[in-house]
Amino acid sequence: MANSVSDSVSKLDVNASATAISVNQRDAYLMSLVQTVKAAVPPELALSELRARAEALLKEQTFPSTRQEDWRFTDLSALLNMTFTAGAEASVTEADIAALRLPETMGAQVVVLNGCFSAELSNLEALPEGAIAGSLRSLLTHPTRRAEIESYLAQASGSHEVFTALNTVGFQDAIVLWLPRHQVVDTPIQLLYVTQPQATPRLIHPRCLVVAEAGSALTLVEEYWGNGADAHFTNAVTELWLQETAQVTHSRVQSEGEGTFHIGNTVVTQGRDSQYTGTAVSLGARLCRHHWEIYQTGEQTTTRLYGLGAIASTQHSDTHSLVALNHPHGTVEQVHKAIVDDKAHSVFNGRIVVAQQAQLTNASQLNRNLLLSNQARVDTKPQLEIVADNVKCAHGATGQPASGR
């Protein structure tokens, strides 16, 4: 696939100096986004050291292009022609989102409008005593809680990724879900992100920090919803920290409007004997990319990842994942499925890395694809990188083409 940089080089028949100019333009665009989002950060969420570190990381990077292996099949050049503003204005009522809510009997509901927590529309009454769900803005007013949060926020190994760092520079609020030791939440918590596009394209940075202390258990349903064809850019980051023996079941559903550029990063750090089960479903958006990063930091850790992309028209859905195993007796199971119609394009790149010390690992990875049109496209790359010698690992990909169309 040719990108906008290589197209311009071929049309103008110029040498490598033009490519350098194009890289400079990407650098300048990324820095313009940084300046835009910095200006919208509320003073009470300055977190100057944290944000300065993220900005320094961005100065060492550039806006991604298809020349980079991780972005080979996902072209973001359309974003380079757009000017975004950062802002959280939204006029959403209870009636607007009533149909999106899980039944109240299902548990607590946290509503976020254009990246900012809405206390009026949220319902936290179902939370058990001791569990915390709320806005970072309010939690930072408690010195002890602030120190605890800062020890986790943006401290995961995946924080250097370009869009994660951009989110860290510019988020205007964040949701914090915190379970104390051995706290079990019996009913799911719904985290509902509602995006309301404005006349001017908006850049929105949803952010969530989940900390499940030792022996705790949680089911989280994370949903992104928007409508209409107006363009905007959702750049979401969710960090989950599972201490030893914690269990988290996490569903992520993206059904944003047809004009949306949606980039999401989910970073999971797992302690010994913890269990994480994640399901990611991508249905909406003009372009969607979801990146899972899982770090097993203790023995006997279990990770299960399931994904589904169902796209049509000219939609583009990209799923990247990294699971890093560094301790013995780790288990990984990953299955990703894609249903692709019309001229839509699905991308899957799953990477499981088994280090030397991760002996007795059991890992499997499978990608299944169904193409409903002769013009539909799938690019898939399941990867196993194994250094340990006493492991049981398998991976594969299958595709079913359109029949009679």
Backbone angles phi, psi at 85, to 5 degrees: -115, 155
The reply to whether 335 falls in a domain is no
Q: State if pTM tops 0.75.
A: yes
Domain hosting 42: range is 4-237+246-264
The reply to whether 382 falls in a domain is no
Number of structural domains the chain divides into:
1
Within a 10 A sphere around the Cβ of 366, how many other Cβ atoms? 16
The reply to whether 210 falls in a domain is yes
Contact 369, 350 (CB under 8 A): no
The reply to whether 364 falls in a domain is no
The reply to whether 160 falls in a domain is yes
Note down pLDDT in tens along the chain; length 405 residues: 333 323 333 333 333 333 444 888 999 999 999 999 999 999 999 999 999 999 999 999 999 999 999 999 999 999 998 999 887 677 777 888 888 888 766 789 999 998 999 999 999 998 999 999 999 999 998 888 899 999 999 999 888 999 999 999 999 999 999 999 999 999 999 999 998 877 788 999 999 999 999 999 999 999 999 887 788 899 999 999 999 999 999 999 999 999 999 999 999 999 999 999 999 999 999 999 999 999 999 999 999 999 999 999 999 999 999 999 999 999 999 999 999 999 999 999 999 999 999 999 999 999 999 999 999 999 999 999 988 888 888 888 888 887 645
Question: Whole-angstrom Cα distance, residue 275 to residue 388?
Answer: 22
The reply to whether 129 falls in a domain is yes
- For residue 324, the one-letter residue type is A
Pick from 262, 309, 237: which is nearest to 50 by CA? 237
Contact 146, 227 (CB under 8 A): no
The reply to whether 103 falls in a domain is yes
Question: pLDDT tens-digit profile of 49-97?
Answer: 999 999 999 999 999 999 999 999 999 999 998 999 887 677 777 888 8
The reply to whether 383 falls in a domain is no
Q: What is the DSSP letter of 2?
A: -
Cα separations in angstroms, 76 against 44, 64, 207, 234, 337: 33, 7, 22, 13, 23
3-state SS, one letter per residue, for 333-357: EEEEEEEECCCCEEEEEEEEEECCC
